[in-house]
């Protein structure tokens, strides 16, 4: 049986990124990335447009292999684990893509039930109970039989979140969750993220450049720079706003006040 490397760091990191280089062929997107995401963090991957935030997220969830370096999940080398072990680890993830990615021909309830039907042994009645519970959790009780086209953009994001939570994941990944939402819907989604983190202890990783969300929910972060092609800061974004020694980071985090 293939041996899987163990993360060298001795800490409680839920996710450990070690010397990661992300690239498309010869084109390097980001390199020399080293950071830890602790259990229960709401961890922000931030930076300007085109810096590779979503690309790094794809590496964390196993949709793209590192050109160099490794990603450890619960101290298991996720990047180089056997395929069946990677698939098992992925079942501990929930992912909310930028568009929501709901199936338009399925009702909200059918969308949420899909991963339960595929990856659990629950009966149909039990699945319906879980679906109803997840919908209530995201504030969509009573919307089960509606189609995605019949609900608002903010409601579609919450329905997609309910689907991401269907299998009770240890880690939730969000790619630009506020994209396309009005300020009120965006704020409600931030509040929901905070509630889920507080009540369930879920580790949450968020890709975003939205300042309001960054300061409202993030307790830890990295800042990716497109020109340097690496991370140039890490830490609590509220502290980085005024205390980061790198002017580029301070300018980004204070741009709403310029």
Kindly report the CATH number assigned to the domain that includes residue 219: 3.40.50.300
- Walk along the chain (258 residues) and give the pLDDT tens digit of each residue: 333 444 454 467 999 999 999 999 999 999 999 999 999 999 999 999 899 999 999 999 999 999 999 999 999 999 899 999 999 999 899 998 776 678 889 999 999 999 899 888 889 999 999 999 989 888 888 899 999 999 888 888 889 888 988 888 999 999 988 877 788 888 888 998 998 899 888 999 999 989 999 999 999 999 999 999 999 999 999 999 999 999 999 999 998 564
Instruction: Tell me which of 142, 169, 196 is where a domain ends.
Output: 169
Residue 12 pLDDT: 75
Residue-wise over 14-24: b if at least 16 C-beta within 10 A, else e? Answer: bbbbbebbbbe
Pair 75, 189 in one domain: yes
Pair 67, 107 in one domain: no
Whether residue 42 contacts residue 96, with contact meaning beta carbons closer than 8 Å, is answered with no
* Both structure tokens of 174: 């969000």
Q: How many residues does the chain have?
A: 258
Residue 103 pLDDT: 87
Q: What is the pTM of this model?
A: 0.88
Pair 78, 157 in one domain: no
Q: How many domains are there within the chain? A: 2
Pair 124, 73 in one domain: no
Pair 155, 223 in one domain: no
The arrangement of strands across the sheet holding 13-24 comes to 27-38, 13-24, 68-73, 76-77
Residue-wise over 88-122: b if at least 16 C-beta within 10 A, else e? Answer: ebeeebbbbbbebebeeeebbbbbbbbbbeeeeee
Please give the residue range of the domain that contains residue 148: 97-169
Neighbour count for residue 127 (Cβ, 10 Å) = 19
Pair 87, 197 in one domain: yes
Pair 104, 88 in one domain: no
Pair 136, 218 in one domain: no
Instruction: Tell me which of 143, 169, 195 is where a domain ends.
Output: 169
Pair 208, 254 in one domain: yes
What are phi and psi for residue 220, nearest 5 degrees?
Answer: -155, 160
Residue 57 pLDDT: 95
Pair 164, 244 in one domain: no
Pair 73, 106 in one domain: no
Pair 56, 27 in one domain: yes
Residue 223 pLDDT: 97
Q: What share of residues in the chain are helix, strand, coil (percent, to 5)?
A: 40, 25, 35
Which residue do the tokens 């930028």 mark?
98
Residue 257 pLDDT: 61
């Amino acid at each position: 049986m293939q041996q899987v490397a163990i993360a060298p760091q001795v800490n409680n990191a839920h996710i450990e990124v070690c010397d990661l280089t992300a690239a498309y062929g010869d084109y390097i997107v980001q390199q020399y990335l080293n950071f830890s995401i602790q259990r229960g963090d709401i961890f922000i991957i931030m930076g300007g447009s085109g810096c590779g935030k979503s690309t790094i997220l794809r590496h964390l969830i196993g949709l793209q292999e590192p050109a160099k370096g490794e990603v450890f999940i619960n101290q298991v080398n996720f990047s180089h684990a056997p395929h069946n072990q990677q698939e098992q680890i992925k079942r501990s993830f929930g992912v909310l893509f930028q568009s929501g990615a709901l199936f338009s021909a399925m009702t909200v309830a059918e969308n949420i039930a899909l991963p339960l039907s595929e990856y659990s042994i629950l009966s149909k009645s039990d699945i319906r109970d879980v679906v109803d519970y997840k919908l209530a959790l995201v504030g969509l009780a009573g919307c089960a039989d509606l189609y995605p086209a019949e609900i608002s953009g903010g409601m579609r994001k919450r329905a997609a979140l309910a689907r991401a939570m269907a299998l009770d994941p240890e880690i939730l990944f969000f790619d630009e969750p506020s994209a396309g939402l009005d300020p009120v819907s965006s704020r409600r989604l931030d509040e929901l993220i905070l509630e889920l983190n507080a009540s369930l202890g879920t580790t949450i990783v968020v890709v975003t450049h939205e300042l309001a969300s960054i300061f409202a929910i993030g307790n830890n972060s990295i800042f990716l720079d497109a020109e340097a092609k690496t991370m140039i800061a890490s830490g609590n974004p509220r502290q980085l706003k005024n205390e980061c020694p790198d002017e580029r980071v301070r300018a980004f985090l204070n741009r709403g006040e310029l």
